[in-house]
Amino acid sequence: MNQDLSILQLVLNASLVVQLVMLLLLAVSVTSWAAIFRKLFALKRVKSLNDEFEREFWSGTSLNDLFAAAAQNAKSSGPMERIFASGMREYQKLRERRVNDTSTLMDGARRAMRASFQRELDAVETNLSFLASVGSVSPYVGLFGTVWGIMHAFTGLASLQQVTLATVAPGIAEALVATAIGLFAAIPAVVAYNRFARDIDRVAIKLETFIEEFSNILQRNLGAHSPSGH
113-157 pLDDT, tens digit per residue, is 999 999 999 999 988 999 999 999 999 999 998 888 888 777 777
> How far is the C-alpha of 209 from the C-alpha of 60, rounded, in Å?
18
> How far is the C-alpha of 80 from the C-alpha of 163, rounded, in Å?
68
Locate the domains of the chain by residue range: 7-223
Are 79 and 203 in contact by the 8 Å Cβ rule? The answer is: yes
Between residues 3 and 95, which one has the greater pLDDT? 95
Question: Residue 173 pLDDT > 90, yes or no?
Answer: no
User: How much of the chain exceeds pLDDT 70, in percent?
Assistant: 86
Mean pLDDT over all residues of the chain?
86
Q: Among the residues of 99-164, which ranges form H helices?
A: 102-124, 128-157
User: How much of the chain exceeds pLDDT 90, in percent?
Assistant: 55
> How far is the C-alpha of 67 from the C-alpha of 99, rounded, in Å?
20
Taking the whole predicted model, whether its pTM rises above 0.85 is answered as no
